[in-house]
Structure 1
Amino acid sequence: MSDGLNYKFLFDTFFVALSGVPITLIVTFVALLIAVPAGFSLALTRINRIPVLNRFAQVYVSFVRGTPIIIQIFIVYSSVPILLTSIFTKYNINMNVYDVNPIWYAFIVFSFNTTAVLIEVFRSALSTVDKGQLEASHSVGLTNSQAYRRIIIPQALVVAMPNLCTATVNLIKATSLGYAMSLQEITLKAKVAANVGYNYVEAYIDIFLVYLILCSLVEFAFKLYEKRLSKYKPANA
């Protein structure tokens, strides 16, 4: 074991870790693709206090907030194969569930977790839009969907963007826990490379740098989009 850092390994493994970025981005994109509409819909049920759905959303958010995401990963990664095995056995389906790519479990876990986060993001953002604007939209002949698409959502997005950015960055960082499902993302690739010579310090530095660069780029993209949305910001804001 060397006394200092192995700079050659540090350099080489940086690109190994970088090769896990596509998987990280795919998981992030799919999770957001599912979580954004689901979170927005459930936020509306909370805003409008729809009896059963409002209560469901409250319990759902409390459950996700109250349990570590690593526990959610272990539950899904262990329980889903058992459930699928029992279903396949019952209906004589010849398929080994343990051959399923772990990325599918990642889609389930991170979509489930991010939806709960976005429910609260959208709920708080929608609450800032004056209810009178919806009534004014109806008075000029706009339907509910037209009013939300043209007036309510753009204004709510202005308020929601900082929290959406935070939720996305946190989601990207949370995908590092995908190693627990053998997901070939940034962390697992760097750690596997480190196993040969026990260069874990260098591997963790590389992981740190890759996530720092990736999250900084995402934050920059959100800031650009936030500037585009500034035209919807109320004059007195």
Structure 2
Amino acid sequence: MPKKDACRILAVYRKEGKARMVFQFDYFLRMFTIIFSGFKNTVSMAFISLIFAVLLGFVLAASRYYDIPVMKQFSVVFTSFFRSTPFIAQLFVFYYGFAQISMTVRSLSSFWAVVIVLSLSFAAYMGENIRGAISSVDKGQFEAGISIGMTPWQTIRRIVIPQAARVAVPGMVNSFANLFKSTSLAFTVGVMDMTSCAKNEVNLTYRYLEGFIALLLIYWVILALVSYAQAVLERYMNRPYVQEGQ
């Protein structure tokens, strides 16, 4: 290669390198549009997983609180396993490992694989939150409900759950925040979520600072709104107790 051409290439390389060191605000703003193309998948995964996690968590909590044979032991092992192992390892075992031995798992889309593992993983946390909340309600209230002719389910639904929900909300919202952040690992199995959209774009442009700061801000704003909703909900649920105290 002629010396003149080599010098020209080196000059261009240095110029591009310096350009990359400057924060490009226009590109930063454009990243929001790019990242939001994965917003639907991220939010869908989070809320579908939340529904299943709460339902399964309630079963786990009830099994331990009411000492249901076999189910209680299963709940203890289930909770210990999913709270003690990394979510990413759980996802890889399910999506890559079980796919080798199960046609059903192999036929699942990556989206639903993530939803299943998120649901199982965070059901363990939701179950503990719910169990702690139920434990905060005096057992005498359950017995009183039965004594006045209510069925066990009516007593739980009308007396236990309304009081336990007030205690459970902070822990459950905190678990949901962690669940929402965990969706950012869905890109590892090919889901086009917000993180995947950001990663694919910055891999082409090498503008990692602008791209990932935009991603951080989006997650921050979303979870700040969730925290605000939690505060509003807590005030609403605590209102009868505040009025009683007055």
TM-score (norm 2): 0.86
Superposition RMSD in Å: 1.8
Aligned counterpart, 1:191: 199
1:68-94 CA deviation, whole Å, 9 max, x = no partner? 111111111102322333x79xxxxxx
Amino acid of the residue matched to residue 5 of structure 1? F
Aligned counterpart, 2:232: 224
1:122-150 CA deviation, whole Å, 9 max, x = no partner? 11111100000001111222111111111
Q: Would the alpha carbon gap of residues 193 and 209 (structure 1) be closer, same or farther in structure 2, given more than 3 Å must change?
A: same
TM-score (norm 1): 0.89
Match of 1:156 among 164, 169, 177: 164
Amino acid of the residue matched to residue 6 of structure 1? Q
Aligned length: 226
Alignment of 1:3-82 (within 5 A): 3-82=21-100
Q: Structure 2: how far apart are the matches of 1:225 and 1:49?
A: 31
Q: Structure 1: how far apart are the matches of 2:152 and 2:236?
A: 24
Structure 2 runs not aligned, ≥5 long: 1-16
Q: CA deviation at 1:184?
A: 0.9
Aligned counterpart, 2:215: 207
Partner SS state of residue 50, structure 1: coil
Q: Structure 2: how far apart are the matches of 1:164 and 1:179?
A: 25
Amino acid of the residue matched to residue 47 of structure 1? Y
Q: Would the alpha carbon gap of residues 82 and 219 (structure 1) be closer, same or farther in structure 2, given more than 3 Å must change?
A: same
Q: Structure 2: how far apart are the matches of 1:60 and 1:201?
A: 40
Percent identity between the two aligned chains: 34
Match of 1:127 among 135, 150, 166: 135
Amino acid of the residue matched to residue 64 of structure 1? F
Aligned counterpart, 1:94: none
Contact 1:158–1:232, Cα closer than 8 Å, also in 2: no
1:44-79 CA deviation, whole Å, 9 max, x = no partner? 111112231111111111111211111111111102
Partner SS state of residue 58, structure 1: helix
Structure with the greater relative contact order (CA < 8 A, sep ≥ 6): 1 or 2?
1
Structure 1 runs not aligned, ≥5 long: 89-96
Aligned counterpart, 2:186: 178
Q: Structure 2: how far apart are the matches of 1:133 and 1:52?
A: 26
Q: CA deviation at 1:17?
A: 1.3
Partner SS state of residue 51, structure 1: coil
Amino acid of the residue matched to residue 55 of structure 2? P
Aligned counterpart, 1:92: none
- Greater share of residues in helix: 2
